[in-house]
């Protein structure tokens, strides 16, 4: 009997060791794959487009709805395809829930994003304002508003639907699986937890290509990574990312609505 138990324990250890090796191999493969994908999306493809796009004769900040939707497709579709492929077609002996840390679900995760947003939202507003004012005072540079923010204030109403779906549902899933899971886990195995948290947060901030929002994005990235480390699950990260993007989107839509009224525009211009 003892020999049978010992044999079962030994086999179980061997299975766990084999699974651990497979997880490491999948992680290394996934890291290389998503890193190349990010390079293509944010560097190579824009470079190719700029080469074959005629230069503008006049500077304009206006973006129409078609341009925005095409931009969203270019930035998100390749990442979605790659994530689907590495989830379903590679190292199939490893369950998807183990690949992407889709486990340790708790119902109280649904409440965490809202409580955290109450703290994060005013914090990033304050930090962003201080950063913009400091740049203006010390460097005499007026930082422009985010391209997406400007677009949402002026675009056609119908265009808000794909932008909302992209920002609130698609982007959080893609970005959390890539940054919080794949890139962080890979980096943590080589440079440790704290260094990986910083590196991943800097990368997350950089790919958004917005100077004025960079301090806020870094704070959000750190908060998301801490959630991942604390709960050992991707669920709280995705939920908080969705809540934050959704809250920001709704605030911008509210401002868009108020800006259409002359009285509010008068107050913005300093009226009483």
265 versus 24: the higher-pLDDT residue is 24
Please give the residue range of the domain that contains residue 235: 2-52+65-268
Place of tokens 């677009």: 151
The pLDDT of residue 252: 87
Residue 58 covered by a domain: no
* Number of compact structural domains in the chain: 1
First to last CA, the chain: 88
Residue 127 covered by a domain: yes
- Count CA atoms closer than 13 A to 46's CA, side-chain side: 11
Q: How far is CA 92 from CA 18, 98, 165, 187, in A?
A: 14, 11, 30, 23
SS (H, E, C) 166-234: HHHHHHHHHHHHHHHHHHHHHHHHHHCHHHHHHHHHHHHHHCCCCCCCHHHHHHHHHHHHHHHHHHCCC
CA-based nearest residue to 236, from 58, 54, 110, 70? 110
The pLDDT of residue 208: 85
Mean pLDDT value across residues 95-114: 93
Task: Write the Ramachandran bin of 110: left for phi over 0, alpha for psi from -120 to 50, otherwise beta.
Answer: alpha
Does residue 68 carry a pLDDT above 70?
Answer: yes
Residue 181 makes CB contacts below 8 A (sequence gap 6+) with 100, 101, 228, 234
The sign one gets for the Cα dihedral 44, 170, 162, 124 is: negative
Does residue 29 carry a pLDDT above 80?
Answer: yes
Does residue 22 carry a pLDDT above 50?
Answer: yes
- Give the pLDDT confidence of 195-212 residue by residue, as tens digits: 999 999 999 999 887 888
- 85, 177 in Cβ contact below 8 A? no
Residue 147 covered by a domain: yes
The pLDDT of residue 214: 92
134 versus 266: the higher-pLDDT residue is 134
Mean pLDDT value across residues 93-117: 93
Across the chain, mean pLDDT equals 84
Does residue 57 carry a pLDDT above 80?
Answer: no
Q: State CA 49 to chain mean position distance.
A: 24
Residue 170 covered by a domain: yes
CA-based nearest residue to 214, from 112, 139, 137, 144? 144
Does residue 237 carry a pLDDT above 90?
Answer: yes
Top mean pLDDT of 88-92, 130-134, 195-199, 260-264 is at 195-199
* Rounded CA Rg of the chain: 22
Does residue 7 carry a pLDDT above 70?
Answer: no
- 239, 113 in Cβ contact below 8 A? yes
- 117, 244 in Cβ contact below 8 A? yes
Distance CA 204, CA 193 (A): 16
The sign one gets for the Cα dihedral 48, 54, 56, 61 is: negative
Residue 57 covered by a domain: no
The pLDDT of residue 271: 46
Residue 38 covered by a domain: yes
- Give the pLDDT confidence of 147-202 residue by residue, as tens digits: 677 777 777 888 889 989 999 999 999 999 999 999 999 999 999 999 999 999 99
The pLDDT of residue 205: 93
CA-based nearest residue to 68, from 153, 188, 183? 153
64 versus 54: the higher-pLDDT residue is 64
Residue 239 covered by a domain: yes
Does residue 124 carry a pLDDT above 60?
Answer: yes
> pTM of the predicted model, to two decimals?
0.87
Residue 60 covered by a domain: no
Q: Which range has the worst mean pLDDT, 137-141, 151-155, 234-238, 267-271?
A: 267-271
Residue 110 makes CB contacts below 8 A (sequence gap 6+) with 239
């Amino acid at each position: 009997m003892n020999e049978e138990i010992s044999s079962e324990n030994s086999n179980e250890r061997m299975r766990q060791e084999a699974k651990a090796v497979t997880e490491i191999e999948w992680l290394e493969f996934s890291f290389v794959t998503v890193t190349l994908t990010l390079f293509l999306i944010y560097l190579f493809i824009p470079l190719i487009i700029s080469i074959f796009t005629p230069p503008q004769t006049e500077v304009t900040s206006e973006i129409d709805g078609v341009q925005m939707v095409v931009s969203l497709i270019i930035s998100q579709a390749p990442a979605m395809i790659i994530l689907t492929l590495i989830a379903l077609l590679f190292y199939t002996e490893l369950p998807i829930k183990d690949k992407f840390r889709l486990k340790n679900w708790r119902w109280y995760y649904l409440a965490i994003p809202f409580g955290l947003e109450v703290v994060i939202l005013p914090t990033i507003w304050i930090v962003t304002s201080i950063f913009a004012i400091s740049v203006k005072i010390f460097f005499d540079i007026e930082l422009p508003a985010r391209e997406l923010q400007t677009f949402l204030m002026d675009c056609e109403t119908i265009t808000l639907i794909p932008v909302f779906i992209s920002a609130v549902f698609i982007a959080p899933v893609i970005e959390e699986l890539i940054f919080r899971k794949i890139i962080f886990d890979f980096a943590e195995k080589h440079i440790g937890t704290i260094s990986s948290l910083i590196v991943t947060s800097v990368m997350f901030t950089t790919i958004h290509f917005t100077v004025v929002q960079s301090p806020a994005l870094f704070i959000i990235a750190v908060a998301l990574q801490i959630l991942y480390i604390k709960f050992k699950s991707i669920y709280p990260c995705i939920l908080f990312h969705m809540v934050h993007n959704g809250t920001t989107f709704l605030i911008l839509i509210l401002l868009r609505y108020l800006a259409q009224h002359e009285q509010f525009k008068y107050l913005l211009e300093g009226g009483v």
